[in-house]
Chains A and B, each alone.
Chain A
Amino acid sequence: MSPAAARARRLAGQAGYGAIRLFFVIILAFPFYWMLITAFKTNKDLYNTANNPYLFNSPPTLEHIIVLFRDTLFVQWLANTAFVGLLVVAITLVLAVPAGYALARMTGPWAQTLGVAIFLTYLVPPTILFIPFSRIIALLGVQDTLWSLVLVYPSFTVPFCTWLLMGFFKTIPRDLEDAAMIDGLSRLGAFLKVVMPISLAGILTAVIFTFTLVTQEFVYGVTFITSSSSYTVSVGVPTFLVRGDVYFWGSMMAACLIASVPIALIYNLFVDRFVAGFTVGAVK
C-alpha cells in the first residue's frame, strides 16, 4: 500500500469513528435536549401539532420553571433527597470504610471471595425485597417517613462502597503501614493516622456514588412513601406531577433536567473508578 493510500485510509477510519460518535451522542443525549427545549417553551407552542417541535415558535418562557419552584413540592423533594443522601453517606462510610480496608489487607483464600460476595449483595434488586420490606417498615413504625429510606438505602450503598473502597485501599502500598507500625503504631493506629489521610480521594468517590445511588433509587421510595411531601426527587417527579389527566410537561421536563445534570457532571469526574469497581478483576 502506498503511503498516500494508507493515510487516506486512516483518515477515512477516523471520519468513520467520528460519525459513529456523533450518531450515538445524538441518540443518547436526545431526551435531555428534548427536556431542555420543552422546559422553555410556552404551552401555546408545545400543544400545537402544526408547529415544528424542534424550534421555538413563540419566544422562550421561564413560566414552567417558576411553576415548578413556586407551585409544586419540587424544592421539598430536592431537600428530602439531600437529607436522605447525607445520612446514608454517613452510615455508609462508617460501615464500608473499615470493611473495605479489612478486605484489602486480609490474606487468605477466601478474602477475595468474601469481597465478591459482598459486592453481589449490591446486585440483589429492590424488586425482590420491596414487598417484605414494606411490612418490616410498617412494623418499625417508619412508613411514609424519610427514615425508612435512610434505613434501607445502605443495604445497597454499603456493599457497593465496600467493594469500591477495597479496590482503593489495595492500591495503597503496604510498606507505608509497615513502616508506621515499626515506628510503634498499632495496625489500627496505622490505618487511622497513615492510611486514612491519603485515602480522601477514595472516600470522596464513595460519597459521590452513594449520593448518586440514593438519588437514582425509585422502587423503595415509591413503595414506602405515600405523602407527596416526603418524596425524593426521583419519585416525586414521575408520580406526583403525572397524577390525573393533566401533565405539566414543561415543568416535568425542567424538573428532570435540574435533578439529572448536576449529578451527571460530578459523576463524570469519577467514572473511571466506577468502571474499575464494575469490572471485577476482568481487566488487569
Chain B
Amino acid sequence: MIAAPAADKGRARWSFVDNERRLWPTMLAPAIIYIALLVGVPFVLSLFYSVSNATVGSRGIQFVGLENFRRIVESGTFWLSLKNTVMITVVSQFLVIVCANILALALTGEFRGKWLVRFLILLPWVAPISLGSIGWLWIFDSIYSVINWTARAVGLIGPHEWPIWLGEPTLAKTSIIIVNVWRIVPLATVIILAGLSSIPQDIHDAAQVDGAGFWRRYFEITGPLIMPITLVALLFGIIFTFTDMIVVFVLTRGGPYDTTQVIASWAYFTGIQGGDLAGGAAISLFLFPVLAIVAVVFLLFAKRAEVT
C-alpha cells in the first residue's frame, strides 16, 4: 500500500467511526465483554468447581472427577429436590397458563378503572418477590393465618381443625405453588394480553357475522392465534419458577426436614451456608438443561420471526 497523503491521515483516524464494519463491533464490544466476563467466567468456574473438592475455606483445590455428582445422586435429598422442583414448576405453570388466559380475555376492551385494575394485578410481579413472600409468610402463619380464620368463619374447616400451612409437607408444597402462581400470573397475563390485542378486530367481526359463538371463536380463532405468545409466557414462567429459590427460602427454608427443598435452594444451603462450594456448584448445574432447552426454543422463535 502506498503511504496516504498527510492530509488524509487525520481523516483516517476519525473515519473509522464512519466505517460501520468497525463501528458496530466497537459499540457492541464493551457490553459483550462485560457479559462474557460476568456470566461466562462464573459459569465455567462452576463447571470447574463441580469436579473439584472446593470448600469455602480451602486453598488448594483438587480435581475429584465426578465424585460430587456421585455424592449428589446417591443423596435422597437430591431426588426429593428434583421431584419438588419439577412438580412445583409443572403444577404452577399449568395453573398460570389457565388463569392468565382467562384473566387476559377479561382485560381486553375498555372498562372503567382499567389503570387501577392493571396496577393491582401487576403488583405481585413488580414487588420484590422476597417481600411478597414475606407477606405470604404472614398469611400462612401457624397461629394467625387469615386463611384458617376465614375458612373456619365460613365453616370450611371444623372448630378443631387448624392446618399448619408451612409445617406439613403437602400443605407446604401447596403454599409454595400458590405463591409461585400468584407471582407469575401477572407476567403471563400481560404477555398474553399483548397477543390478544394484536389480533385484528376484523377477524372477530367476521367470525361473529358468520355466527360463531364465544367458545367456538375462542377455540378455533383466538386460541390458535395466541398459541405462540402463550408459549413465550410459559417459557418465561418455567425459567423463573424452575430456577427460583426465594419463595422456598422465605417460606420454609426447605423444611420441614428438607421435604420442600428445591434444586436452587438446596444448592444455596449446601454451597453457601454449608460451605461446600463443589457440591453446591454441582447441584446448581442440574438447573442448566432446562435453561438450555428454553434458550433453544427462544432462538428458534427468533429465527421464525425473522423469516416471516
B38 within 8 A of partner (CB): yes
- Asked whether A256 lies within 8 Å of B132 as measured between CB atoms, the reply is yes
A73 within 8 A of partner (CB): no
Nearest Cβ on chain B to A233's Cβ, whole angstroms: 7
For the complex, what is the distance from the CA of A223 to the CA of B284, rounded to whole Å?
14
A90 within 8 A of partner (CB): no
- Asked whether B186 lies within 8 Å of A131 as measured between CB atoms, the reply is no
Given A128-B243, A233-B131, 15 other A-B contacts at CB below 8 A?
A25-B121, A34-B135, A102-B28, A123-B291, A124-B291, A131-B267, A132-B281, A155-B34, A186-B15, A222-B249, A253-B138, A260-B128, A260-B131, A264-B127, A275-B191
Which chain B residues (53-111) contact chain A, with CB distance < 8 Å?
A: 54, 56, 99, 102-103, 105-107, 109, 111
Stretch of A12-20, A60-68, A199-207 that contacts chain B: A12-20
28 contacting pairs across A/B (C-beta < 8 A): A25-B117, A28-B124, A28-B186, A29-B123, A49-B149, A95-B34, A98-B28, A99-B31, A101-B27, A114-B28, A115-B302, A124-B43, A127-B267, A128-B287, A128-B288, A155-B38, A186-B17, A189-B17, A222-B249, A233-B131, A238-B250, A242-B134, A256-B127, A256-B134, A259-B127, A260-B131, A263-B127, A264-B126
Stretch of B2-10, B169-177, B228-236 that contacts chain A: B228-236
Q: Which residues of B contact A264 (CB under 8 A)?
A: 119, 122-123, 126-127
Which chain A residues (214-272) contact chain B, with CB distance < 8 Å?
A: 215-219, 222-223, 233-235, 237-238, 242, 249, 252-253, 255-256, 259-261, 263-265, 267-268, 271-272
- Asked whether A278 lies within 8 Å of B144 as measured between CB atoms, the reply is no
- Asked whether A13 lies within 8 Å of B194 as measured between CB atoms, the reply is no
- Asked whether B134 lies within 8 Å of A237 as measured between CB atoms, the reply is yes
For the complex, what is the distance from the CA of A128 to the CA of B123, rounded to whole Å?
27
Nearest Cβ on chain B to A22's Cβ, whole angstroms: 9
- Asked whether A280 lies within 8 Å of B46 as measured between CB atoms, the reply is no
The winner among B27, B198, B263, B295 for most chain A CB atoms within 10 A is B27
Nearest Cβ on chain A to B128's Cβ, whole angstroms: 4
Given known contacts A124-B291, A278-B236, A132 and B45 CB-to-CB distance under 8 angstroms: yes
In chain B, what residue has the closest Cβ to A258?
A: B131
B207 within 8 A of partner (CB): no
Consensus secondary structure, chain A interface? helix
- Asked whether A238 lies within 8 Å of B133 as measured between CB atoms, the reply is yes
For the complex, what is the distance from the CA of A24 to the CA of B105, rounded to whole Å?
12
A281 within 8 A of partner (CB): yes
- Asked whether B111 lies within 8 Å of A49 as measured between CB atoms, the reply is no
B210 within 8 A of partner (CB): no
- Asked whether A281 lies within 8 Å of B305 as measured between CB atoms, the reply is yes
Q: Which residues of A contact B18 (CB under 8 A)?
A: 186-188
The winner among B41, B122, B131, B190 for most chain A CB atoms within 10 A is B131
Across chains A and B, the number of contacting residue pairs, with CB separation under 8 Å, is: 317
- Asked whether B130 lies within 8 Å of A238 as measured between CB atoms, the reply is yes
Q: Which residues of A contact B (CB under 8 A)?
A: 13-14, 16-18, 20-21, 24-25, 27-32, 34-35, 38, 46-47, 49, 52-54, 94-96, 98-99, 101-103, 105-106, 112-121, 123-125, 127-136, 151-152, 154-155, 158-159, 162, 186-189, 212, 215-219, 222-223, 233-235, 237-238, 242, 249, 252-253, 255-256, 259-261, 263-265, 267-268, 271-272, 274-276, 278-284
